[in-house]
């Protein structure tokens, strides 16, 4: 009769533990501290010394008082742009992050995502050891984390709409329409080429929904037509693509900078290139002629069968896990390339003529570190979003990690664990009759029945089709934005 069962208590314990742990240990803070170093903005004395200006030493007490009285007038001064200014470096500490723009949002998102992943992993272990047919609470954690990711993407994109120049606003709108047309084109591609399973999933959902409504005495021809569903999905894809424009451009800039600072390390350059094209590799795994038909031996031209179809499905999910880990490991490298741009900007000043104020020099250096958390969010948010969609795809699509080891491993685990407990078996008519005196039990029983009915409408087949497409589209649109970004920063600037 319990919808959540023991995992509800299990999740509450984990949530309480992580809540107590968060003030002491932060996953987001740990990723940034101890791995990065920043450039300190030069002091007024350092700038004067580099420009060969007088340090302003006083000769007597009277002159010292006069200098203090006119201190506000002496805070700003100009130096030649060609002045060679030495920048000191310092490791990034936790205290340095507190004042950064978007740091609270970054820390909250990373910590909540980390908590959701921990809950998901432990819940997967729980389901692996004790197979259940009850609702998986980790799905709620994933949905909340996806909501936070989309909120941050909306927040960052809205900043470009408030700028006076308006160039970024036009770029977002233009790419939004571009992705709308692209999504419409993708949705009409035959399933033999792009295997999302959308049509089969929607047919299953429509029949289940119609049966559910008729069972409850509601005359209905089912949900909207398949064409209308595709149009709605195309507009959703357009919004996702527009939100990923600037994260894609930022990733391209960080990638090019990271390659520049890794010229002497060929192995690291290869890893950076693989990291960049990883979303493209994931996208190609949904192109049936060059993925499933070759690896699973479904084409008449291929006689060797490398993988079974169940292994192929789980392999796609496992590749997303590798992708997420790779991006997290290389995050420090990419963020450091952004912090290094402070030194480059000061060096570029030497190539210009004229003069510049000391305040402007200090702002140029300080601004790089001040906005580093926003840059980090643009780098990591799409990664977190893809990871969460992958976890939903695996859980709601009713896949098993054991399938990665082949069909014999699946049969062995099934024989070892025995038949699964069914929620429906626990909700019987006598139980309902005996629970009329207990309102709490009666409400729980009603909720269990409602949950069972909803599971008959939203089947794993429906989730597989929808989430498979969203996973593919998010990866494809993000990589397309990165490709445009590489072209822009390497050719146009």
Instruction: Report how far residue 374's alpha carbon sits from residue 263's, in angstroms, rounded to the nearest whole number.
Output: 26
Quote the CA–CA distance of 378 and 251 in Å, as a whole number. Answer: 8
Listing DSSP states for 404-437 in one string gives GG-HHHHHHHHHHH-SPP-HHHH--HHHHHHTTT
Using a 10 angstrom Cβ sphere, with 0-12 exposed, 13-18 middle and 19 or more buried, the burial of residue 74 is: exposed
Cα–Cα distance measured from residue 17 to residue 118, given in angstroms and rounded to the nearest whole number: 11
At residue 424, the pLDDT reads 43
Distance from C-alpha of 333 to C-alpha of 254, rounded to nearest angstrom: 9
Residue 91: phi and psi, rounded to 5, are: -65, 150
- Closest by CA position to 259, among listed 277, 241, 283: 277
Tokens of 443: 């409400």
- Residue spans of alpha helices (H) in 79-166: 94-97, 103-129, 138-161
Q: Write the pLDDT tens digit of every residue in 16-37.
A: 887 787 778 889 999 998 889 9
pLDDT of residue 172: 93
Token reading at 269: 């350059």
Give pLDDT, residue 422: 47
- Between CA 367 and CA 363 the distance in angstroms is 6
Q: How far apart are CA 59 and CA 52, in angstroms?
A: 20
Which residues of the chain have a pLDDT value below 70?
1-6, 54-74, 131-134, 166, 220-222, 299-303, 406-453, 493
- DSSP tag of 137: T
Burial 463-489 (b: 16+ CB within 10 A, else e): bbbbbbbbbbbbbbbbbbbbbbbbeee
At 159-213, the pLDDT tens digits run 888 877 768 889 999 999 999 999 999 999 998 899 998 999 999 888 888 887 7
3-state helix vs strand vs coil in the chain, percent to 5: 70, 5, 25
pLDDT at 408: 67
306 class by beta-carbon count within 10 Å (0-12 exposed, 13-18 middle, 19+ buried)? exposed
What integer pLDDT is reported at residue 9 of this predicted model?
Answer: 77
For 338-384, give the DSSP string: HHTHHHHHHHHHTTS-SEEEHHHHHHHHHHHHHTHHHHHHHHHHHHH
């Amino acid at each position: 009769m319990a919808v959540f069962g023991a995992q509800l208590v299990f999740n509450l314990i984990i949530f309480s533990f992580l809540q107590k742990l968060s003030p002491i240990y932060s996953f987001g803070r740990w990723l940034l501290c101890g791995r990065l170093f920043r450039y300190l903005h030069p002091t007024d004395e350092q700038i004067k010394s580099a420009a060969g200006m007088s340090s302003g030493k006083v000769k007597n007490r009277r002159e010292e008082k006069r200098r203090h009285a006119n201190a506000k007038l002496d805070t700003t001064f100009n130096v030649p742009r060609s002045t060679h200014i030495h920048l000191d470096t310092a490791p990034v500490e936790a205290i340095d992050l507190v004042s950064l723009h978007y740091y609270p949002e970054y820390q909250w998102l990373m910590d909540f995502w980390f908590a959701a992943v921990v809950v998901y992993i432990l819940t997967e272990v729980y389901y692996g050891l004790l197979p259940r047919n009850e609702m998986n609470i980790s799905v709620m954690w994933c949905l909340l984390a996806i909501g936070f990711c989309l909120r941050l993407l909306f927040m960052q994109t809205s900043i470009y709409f408030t700028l006076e120049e308006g160039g970024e606003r036009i770029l977002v709108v233009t790419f939004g329409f571009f992705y709308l047309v692209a999504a419409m084109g993708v949705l009409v591609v035959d399933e033999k080429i792009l295997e999302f399973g959308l049509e089969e999933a929607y047919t299953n959902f429509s029949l289940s929904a119609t049966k559910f409504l008729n069972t409850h005495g509601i005359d209905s021809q089912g949900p909207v037509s398949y064409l209308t569903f595709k149009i709605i999905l195309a507009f959703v894809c357009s919004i996702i693509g527009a939100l990923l424009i600037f994260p894609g451009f930022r990733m391209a800039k960080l990638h090019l900078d990271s390659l520049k600072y890794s010229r002497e390390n060929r192995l690291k350059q290869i890893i950076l290139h693989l990291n960049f094209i990883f979303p493209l590799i994931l996208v190609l795994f949904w192109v049936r002629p060059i993925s499933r038909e070759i690896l699973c031996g479904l084409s008449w031209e291929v006689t060797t069968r490398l993988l079974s179809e169940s292994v192929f499905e789980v392999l796609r999910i496992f590749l997303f896990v590798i992708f997420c880990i790779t991006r997290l490991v290389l995050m420090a490298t990419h963020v450091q390339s952004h912090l290094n741009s402070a030194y480059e900007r000061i060096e570029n000043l030497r190539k210009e003529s004229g003069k510049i104020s000391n305040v402007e020099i200090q702002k140029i250096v300080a601004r790089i570190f001040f906005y580093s958390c926003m840059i980090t969010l643009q780098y990591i948010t799409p990664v977190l979003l893809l990871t969460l969609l992958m976890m939903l795809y695996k859980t709601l699509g009713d896949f098993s990690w054991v399938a990665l080891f082949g069909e014999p491993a699946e049969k062995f685990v099934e024989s070892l664990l025995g038949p699964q407990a069914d929620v429906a078996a626990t909700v019987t008519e006598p139980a309902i009759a005996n629970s009329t005196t207990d309102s709490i039990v009666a409400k729980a029983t009603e909720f269990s029945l409602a949950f069972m009915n909803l599971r008959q409408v939203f089947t794993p087949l429906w989730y597989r089709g929808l989430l498979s497409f969203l996973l593919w589209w998010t990866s494809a649109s993000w990589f397309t934005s990165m490709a445009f970004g590489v072209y822009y920063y390497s050719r146009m600037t």
